[in-house]
Amino acid sequence: MVKRVSCSRVVVVSLLTSAIIGFGAESSRADAAKGEGVFEAKKCGGLCHITQGPATEKTFADQLKKKGPELWYAGNKLKKEWMEKWLQNPAVIRSLEYNSLEKKNPGNHPKLGKDEAGAVTDYLMTLTSKDVETGVINPKSSLQGKIAFEKRQACQGCHQVEKTGKVVGGMVAPSLVKAGERLQGDWVYAYLKKPKVFKPVKRMPIYEGYLSDVDMKNIAALVASF
């Protein structure tokens, strides 16, 4: 026997579903707006964190004026769960102070309360770049990725990594220990492939012409698996 469902019931269910979805989107926008307000009130922008892209710096002098990482692509780069926790209890990611090759990072980034951290995270997740294609990189540790990371480019010379239970590597760049909890693989790949889009002036080598697209994808997948 075929069970008949009245047209009016279908319409009611459809309207309720649309209302719930609409409410969720409206709530998310409200949280993002609240987060932007907190971000501005705490004076997180300006020279500390740039939220307007694309990048405009042309010289090292321009880059050295900055006191913290650019955030105009934070929604592509960072993972939401990690960001919300980190804002409540900031841990040192760079052993050395931002833009320094000798000063130790004091680890004095301001902390936010739970509600503020959640709102600011919602805001930062709206900051994305059209140059990051999503759904390209799946976290994966492979021999090819390790060879490209460790042998062809010796990335651990600048970045700390965890190896056989120990932290090894350089300290002049952000640590990649447990980077998979923090970074999105799609952004790592885009950063390797289109470095000038995200940071036109930087100390990190440009890999275009030195690494194949396959190598870049393997490195991105490896870093995302850490």
Read off the pLDDT of residues 18-63 as tens digits, 9 standing for 90 and up.
443 444 555 567 789 999 999 999 999 987 899 998 888 888 888 8
pTM: 0.84
User: 3-state DSSP call for residue 86?
Assistant: helix
| Domain segments of the chain as ranges | 14-130, 133-226
Q: Which two three-digit tokens encode residue 166?
A: 């120990």
Tokens 């390797």, residue? Answer: 192
Fold type of domain 133-226: Cytochrome Bc1 Complex; Chain D, domain 2 (1.10.760)
Cα–Cα nearest to 217, from 154, 129, 168, 144 = 144
Q: State the pLDDT at residue 120.
A: 97
Q: What is the mean pLDDT of the chain?
A: 87
Exposed, middle or buried, 136 (CB in 10 Å: 0-12/13-18/19+)? Answer: middle
Read off the pLDDT of residues 121-169 as tens digits, 9 standing for 90 and up.
999 999 999 999 999 999 999 999 999 999 988 899 999 999 888 999 9
Q: How far is CA 182 from the centre of its chain?
A: 7
